[in-house]
Chain A
Amino acid sequence: MLCSGLILCSVILLIQTLLESRKAAGKEEPLIDFHSPGVHCVFLIFAIMIAYAVIMSLFGFIVATLLFVVAVMLAMGERRPVWIGLTTVGITVFIYTVFTVIMGVVLPQGRFF
Chain B
Amino acid sequence: MLTAFSAGFASVFTPMGLLAILGGVLCGIFVGVMPGLSSVMGMSIMLPVALAMDGNMGVLMMLGIFCGAIYGGSITAIMINTPGTANSAATCLDGYPMGHKYHQPGRAISISTTASTFGGLFSALMLLWTSPILSNFALKFSAQESFALALFGISIVASISSENVLKGIMGALIGLLLATVGVDTTTGAYRYTFDTVYLTGGISNIPVLIGLFAFSQGLINIADSYGNPRGKVTQKLERILPTKEDMIYCLPTFIRSSIIGTIIGAIPGTGGDIASWVGYNEAKRWSKHPEKFGDGAPDGIAGPEAANNAVSGGALIPLLSLSIPGDACTAIMLGALMMLGITPGPLLMSESPDKVYMIVIGLFFANIFMAICGFGGLKLFTKIASVPEVILNPLIFVFCFVGTFAVNHTVQDIYLMIVCGILGFFLIKMKFSIPPIILGMILGGILERNFRRSLVLSGGDWTTFFTRPISCTFIIIAILSLIYPFVFPKIKAYLAARREEKNG
Residues of chain A at the chain B interface (Cβ within 8 Å)? 2-3, 5-6, 9-10, 12-13, 16, 31-32, 36-39, 41-42, 45-46, 49, 52-53, 56-57, 61, 65, 68-69, 72-73, 76-78, 83, 87, 91-92, 94-95, 98-99, 103-108
Contacts and interface: CB of A to CB of B under 8 A. Distances in A.
Given A9-B169, A99-B402, A53 B177 contact: no
Given A38-B222, A42-B222, A46-B422, A73 B399 contact: no
Contacts of A95: 398-399, 402
25 contacts: A2-B180, A6-B170, A6-B173, A6-B174, A9-B173, A16-B164, A36-B223, A37-B226, A37-B227, A38-B226, A49-B418, A52-B401, A65-B398, A69-B398, A72-B394, A73-B390, A76-B226, A76-B390, A91-B391, A99-B402, A103-B406, A105-B52, A105-B409, A107-B405, A108-B405
B280 interface: no
Contact of B224 (A6, A38, A45, A78): A38
A42 B180 contact: no
Contact of A32 (B164, B169, B222, B426): B426
Contacts of A12: 166
B93 to A, nearest CB: 26
Contacts of A105: 52, 402, 405-406, 409
B170 A2 contact: no
B431 interface: yes
B425 interface: yes
Given A5-B169, A6-B174, A31-B430, 13 more contacts: A9-B170, A13-B166, A36-B223, A45-B219, A45-B222, A57-B411, A72-B393, A72-B397, A83-B390, A91-B394, A95-B398, A107-B402, A107-B405
B329 interface: no
Interface of B: 49, 52, 164, 166-167, 169-170, 173-174, 176-177, 180, 219, 222-227, 389-391, 393-395, 397-399, 401-402, 405-406, 409, 411, 414-415, 418, 422, 425-426, 429-431
B406 A99 contact: yes
A2 to B, nearest CB: 5
Contacts of A68: 394, 397-398
B411 A108 contact: yes
A110 to B, nearest CB: 10
Given A2-B177, A32-B430, A65-B398, A42 B169 contact: no
A84 to B, nearest CB: 9
A69 B396 CA distance: 10
B451 to A, nearest CB: 12
Contact of A38 (B52, B227, B390): B227
Nearest to A12: B166
B292 to A, nearest CB: 36
Given A39-B223, A76-B389, A31 B397 contact: no
Given A32-B429, A46-B422, A69 B394 contact: yes
A45 to B, nearest CB: 7
